[in-house]
């Protein structure tokens, strides 16, 4: 990115969708997906979305919030959808929505949501400014506004 040129990208250009199958080695004694396994998948999906947006390697700076609404059972199909909500100076917030589907029952459930902060880095692993992001839909605009509120809360709690 040249110093005088500001590149802007839409939120939809950052979207990454991952699909995982919950296998026995992903579960606890109750047959539910381990929280740590889900957090691993969320981190990977969010890292890919931030890298897709910034066209750089991105590192996890923080995990603000992961909400566990429903348990995810063995045999479930887990779809993770990540996109950049907002870009700040050198950081960006990525939201991840987790949908669990049971193909046999034909049932989909929104099981989790997560917000993570990533930083794009250069070849020397130094933080660099990323491209601006342009929210277009009402939902993207809402997430853009709420990302600033979460950032302010996070910075004020330090």
Query: Considering the domain boundaries, does residue 1 fall inside one?
Result: no
The predicted structure's pLDDT at residue 50:
98
Distance (Å, whole) CA 155 – CA 132: 21
CATH value at residue 87: 3.10.129.10
Q: Say how many C-beta atoms besides its own lie within 10 A of residue 156's C-beta.
A: 7
Asked whether residue 78 is domain-assigned, the answer is yes
Q: What DSSP line would sit under 16-67, residue for residue?
A: EEEEEE--GGGB-TTSBBPHHHHHHHHHHHHHHHHHHHHTSEEEEEEEEEEE
Does the residue 51 lie in any domain? yes
User: Is 2 domain-assigned?
Assistant: no
Provide the token pair at 59. Answer: 């590192």
- 64 in a domain, yes or no? yes
Tell me the C-alpha distance between 46 and 15, whole Å.
9
Instruction: Give 84's strand partners.
Output: 94
Looking at the domain assignment, is residue 110 inside a domain?
yes
Looking at the structure of the chain, the number of domains it has is 1
How many residues does this entry show for the chain? Answer: 158
pTM of the model: 0.92
In-domain check, residue 116? yes
Q: The tokens of 122 are what?
A: 């250069």
Question: Could you tell me if 65 and 114 are in contact, meaning their C-beta atoms sit under 8 angstroms apart?
Answer: yes
Task: Residue 18: give the domain boundaries.
Answer: 8-156
Q: Count of CB atoms within 10 A of residue 144's CB?
A: 19
pLDDT by residue, tens only, the chain of 158 residues: 555 567 899 999 999 999 999 999 999 999 999 999 999 999 999 999 999 999 999 999 999 878 788 999 999 999 999 999 999 989 999 999 999 999 889 999 999 999 999 999 999 999 999 999 999 999 999 999 999 999 999 888 87
Q: Which of 123, 115, 111 is nearest to 150 (CA)?
A: 115
Specify if 17 maps to a domain. Answer: yes
């Amino acid at each position: 990115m040249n110093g005088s040129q500001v590149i802007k990208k839409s939120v939809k250009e950052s979207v990454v969708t991952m699909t995982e199958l919950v296998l026995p080695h992903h579960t606890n004694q109750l047959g539910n997906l381990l929280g740590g396994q889900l957090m691993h998948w969320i981190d990977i999906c969010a890292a890919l979305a931030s890298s897709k947006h910034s066209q750089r390697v991105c590192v996890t700076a923080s995990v603000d919030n992961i909400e566990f609404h429903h348990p995810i059972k063995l045999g479930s199909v887990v779809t993770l959808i990540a996109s950049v909500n907002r870009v700040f100076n050198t950081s960006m917030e990525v939201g991840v929505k987790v949908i669990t589907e049971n193909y046999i029952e034909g049932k989909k459930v929104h099981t989790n949501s997560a917000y993570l902060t990533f930083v794009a880095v250069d070849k020397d692993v130094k933080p660099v400014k990323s491209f601006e992001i342009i929210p277009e839909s009402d939902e993207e605009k809402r997430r853009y506004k709420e990302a600033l509120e979460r950032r302010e809360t996070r910075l004020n709690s330090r």
